[in-house]
Amino acid sequence: MMTVLLMLAAFVGYIVAYNTYGRFLARRIFRINPDACVPAVGQCDNRDFVPTRRIIVFGHHFTSIAGTGPIVGPAIGVIWGWVPAFIWVFVGSIVMGGVHDFGSLVISLRNQGRSIADITGDLIGRRVRIIFFLVVMLILWVVIAIFGLVMALIFNRFPAAVIPVWLEIPIAVALGWLVYRRGLGKQLLLFDIAAVLLMYVTILVGWRFPLLMPAVFGIPATGVWTIILLVYAFVASVLPVTTLLQPRDYINAWELAVALVLMTLGVLVAGFGGRLPLVAPAFRAAVPGAPPLWPVLFITIACGAISGFHSLVSSGTSSKQVAREPDALFVGYGAMLVESVLALLVIIACCAGIGMAYRLPDGSVLTGVVAWTHHYSSWGAASGMNANLDAFVTGAANLLSSYGIPIGAAIAVMGVLVVSFAGTTLDTATRLQRYVVAELAGAARLRPLGNKWVATSIAVVSAGALAFASGADGAGALRLWPVFGALNQLLAGLALLVISVWLRPRTKFYWLALGPALFMLVMTSWALVRGILQYAGAGNWLLFGVSAVCLLLEAWMIIETFIVWLQPSNRIAA
């Protein structure tokens, strides 16, 4: 019963937060103007800048920011207990993540749909813009390379997901054609229902006919999938957003909505039936092999609380599609809270659902506290990608099975959910890297590099080089993965710092962004210093160098921002 009450209390809290704090931010802090001309209208090209219904933009934005982050992060973050994870996800999303995403979106809407990295040059200075771009390009480079591998791993782990994920593409293209080419947008709800039903039919097909990729010409399955996915990402990122990006993300958003309902129903059925106690400890200070909760929890759980990648989506793709400024609250702040709902349900799945039945390779089944303790016996046992996915998929599938869905079908549904989100993030990250390269090319007066074909080629080829740097398995990006969490949260702190500078001449409440900025910068600096010492001791000079350079760039940007901060406020009123 405790699990049910926890979930319901959080749901009420999110609704209250959106209608109080969220609306306060819109009215008093960012001063949303319904009459303002947004980039999607003023710069409409029907390719990247397209004024779009807010529910469709929400679908794109939400599935792009979600990825596997709100699943993988909480799935390992609960190793310190469910209470710290729950508090960080709930409070962080409301007072940090929501401000970060909403603020990045609004600033971009007021600056021709430019990225927050580019806008930094106007607010603080050209040197800081270069620093910001370096951090952004590094993060996107790793994201594109790693998410190709993540999808490959998920395809191998859950072969039932292969057919539905690829069949979703023609379904999405057909939806986009009907809405935009045939002008049947008024019948969108009917098409939504048909597309989602088709999507779940393909899941059933995938469950019955799972596909495993064989090695090809000596290249392991993960390497083959990585190549295929990078080619797909190239094609998807140069197409108009209305052809594939919007409709696919929109279908994925409905897929998630259905999954959230199914999981919520499972919590209610199992909870009221007395079969869903919280089997994880509330707090767990000593975890074998684990780093300390402070600051690592705030680096491990990003999406669901706050994530720097969100600022790139807000100011990269979403700001080019929002049709009216008032839609920014629903898209920016609202999507962050819904992502937090997903993270909360992941926590419940990993801290309660997993205790319903945990199946071992030998066929035996563990239940209750024993099941949780077995999976989370140590940091090494629980922190791998497969271990994270197994904890969530097992727990969520158990929730669905509580009211009669076959466990195999439930696992297929959750597997498709995870890989669909990863695919959406891969699509969006590739397009974002293309925008970043184009913005840098424009600033450097190297216009040929700004061409969409050239910029996309740079994004995909560089990611491919990283992916295959360690061999044919496509796992090269794993070399940099240990520092990705700190880099991502560093970006969140820097984005909030830029938002604070933008707000300062406009409102006395700029500290609502500055406070979260300082918190995130302290946590990431702490984590980077800790990592530098650890990598030096282990002789891992690659990660040592990357961490040291990022810490230096952070310090440089903070100093430059502080200098500008001391100047008269009209200097930063751009």
147-173 pLDDT, tens digit per residue, is 888 888 888 888 888 999 899 999 999
**pLDDT at residue number 233:** 92
**pLDDT at residue number 568:** 66
More confident residue, 184 or 202: 202
| Token pair of 80 as six digits | 């310190």
Distance in angstroms (rounded) separating the CA atoms of residues 3 and 315: 37
Whether the predicted pLDDT of 298 surpasses 90: yes
Q: For residues 331 and 61, is the Cβ–Cβ distance under 8 A? A: yes
**pLDDT at residue number 293:** 93
Asked if residue 113 is part of any domain, the answer here is yes
More confident residue, 572 or 454: 454
Distance in angstroms (rounded) separating the CA atoms of residues 537 and 533: 6
Whether the predicted pLDDT of 570 surpasses 60: no
Residue type for position 500: S
Among 59-68, 401-410, 490-499, 563-572, the range of highest mean pLDDT: 490-499
SS3 of 304-338? CCCCCHHHHHHHHCHHHCECCCCHHHHHHHHHHHH
Model pTM score: 0.93
- When the pLDDT of each residue in the chain is averaged and rounded to a whole number, the result is 90
Distance in angstroms (rounded) separating the CA atoms of residues 73 and 55: 27
Among the listed residues 281, 279, 285, 315, the one whose alpha carbon sits nearest the alpha carbon of residue 297: 285
Distance in angstroms (rounded) separating the CA atoms of residues 317 and 248: 14
Residue 540 φ/ψ region, left for φ over 0, alpha for ψ in the -120 to 50 degree band, beta for the rest: beta
Distance in angstroms (rounded) separating the CA atoms of residues 444 and 434: 15
Burial class (CB in 10 A: 0-12, 13-18, 19+), 348: buried
Whether the predicted pLDDT of 574 surpasses 60: no
Confidence of residue 573 (pLDDT cuts 50, 70, 90): very low
- State how far the alpha carbon of 520 is from the alpha carbons of 8, 99, 211, 553, in Å: 29, 13, 42, 15
Q: For residues 459 and 522, is the Cβ–Cβ distance under 8 A? A: no
Confidence of residue 447 (pLDDT cuts 50, 70, 90): confident
The number of beta carbons lying within 10 Å of the beta carbon of residue 53 is: 16
Confidence of residue 128 (pLDDT cuts 50, 70, 90): confident
How is residue 141 annotated by DSSP?
A: H
Average pLDDT over residues 42-68: 91
Would you mind telling me the total number of residues written for the chain in this entry? 574
Asked if residue 104 is part of any domain, the answer here is yes
**pLDDT at residue number 252:** 85
How is residue 216 annotated by DSSP?
A: B
HSE (CB half, 13 Å, CA atoms) of 486? Answer: 27
The helix/strand/coil state of 505 is coil
- Per-residue pLDDT tens over the stretch 347-403: 999 999 999 999 888 888 999 999 999 999 999 888 777 788 889 999 999 999 999
- Per-residue pLDDT tens over the stretch 240-262: 988 888 888 888 888 888 889 99
Domain count, the chain: 1
Whether the predicted pLDDT of 41 surpasses 90: yes
Helices and strands: H and E segment counts in the chain: 26, 2
**pLDDT at residue number 572:** 47
Residue 125 φ/ψ region, left for φ over 0, alpha for ψ in the -120 to 50 degree band, beta for the rest: left
Domain around 296: 2-281+292-572
**pLDDT at residue number 185:** 62
**pLDDT at residue number 419:** 84
Q: What percent of the chain has pLDDT over 90?
A: 61
Whether the predicted pLDDT of 146 surpasses 70: yes
HSE (CB half, 13 Å, CA atoms) of 206? Answer: 28
- The CATH number linked to 145 is 1.10.4160
The number of beta carbons lying within 10 Å of the beta carbon of residue 255 is: 24
Distance in angstroms (rounded) separating the CA atoms of residues 101 and 307: 9
Asked if residue 286 is part of any domain, the answer here is no
Asked if residue 89 is part of any domain, the answer here is yes
Among the listed residues 188, 219, 212, the one whose alpha carbon sits nearest the alpha carbon of residue 55: 188
Burial class (CB in 10 A: 0-12, 13-18, 19+), 289: exposed
Q: For residues 347 and 74, is the Cβ–Cβ distance under 8 A? A: yes
Asked if residue 287 is part of any domain, the answer here is no
**pLDDT at residue number 480:** 87
Whether the predicted pLDDT of 331 surpasses 80: yes
- Sequence-distant (6+) residues with CB within 8 A of 94 are 13, 14, 17, 21, 337, 340
Q: For residues 4 and 271, is the Cβ–Cβ distance under 8 A? A: yes
The number of beta carbons lying within 10 Å of the beta carbon of residue 11 is: 13
The helix/strand/coil state of 445 is coil
Whether the predicted pLDDT of 571 surpasses 60: no
- Per-residue pLDDT tens over the stretch 533-554: 999 999 999 999 999 998 998 8
Average pLDDT over residues 12-32: 97
**pLDDT at residue number 356:** 95
Q: Which long-range contacts (CB under 8 A, 24 or more apart) does 23-27 make?
A: 23/329, 25/98, 25/99, 25/102, 25/329, 25/333, 25/512, 26/102, 26/326, 26/328, 26/329, 26/333
Confidence of residue 184 (pLDDT cuts 50, 70, 90): low
**pLDDT at residue number 430:** 93
Distance in angstroms (rounded) separating the CA atoms of residues 39 and 42: 5
Confidence of residue 569 (pLDDT cuts 50, 70, 90): low
Asked if residue 359 is part of any domain, the answer here is yes
**Helix, strand, coil fractions of the chain, as percent rounded to 5:** 75, 0, 25
Among the listed residues 570, 547, 556, the one whose alpha carbon sits nearest the alpha carbon of residue 128: 556
Asked if residue 96 is part of any domain, the answer here is yes
Whether the predicted pLDDT of 477 surpasses 90: no
Among the listed residues 443, 451, 441, 431, the one whose alpha carbon sits nearest the alpha carbon of residue 48: 431
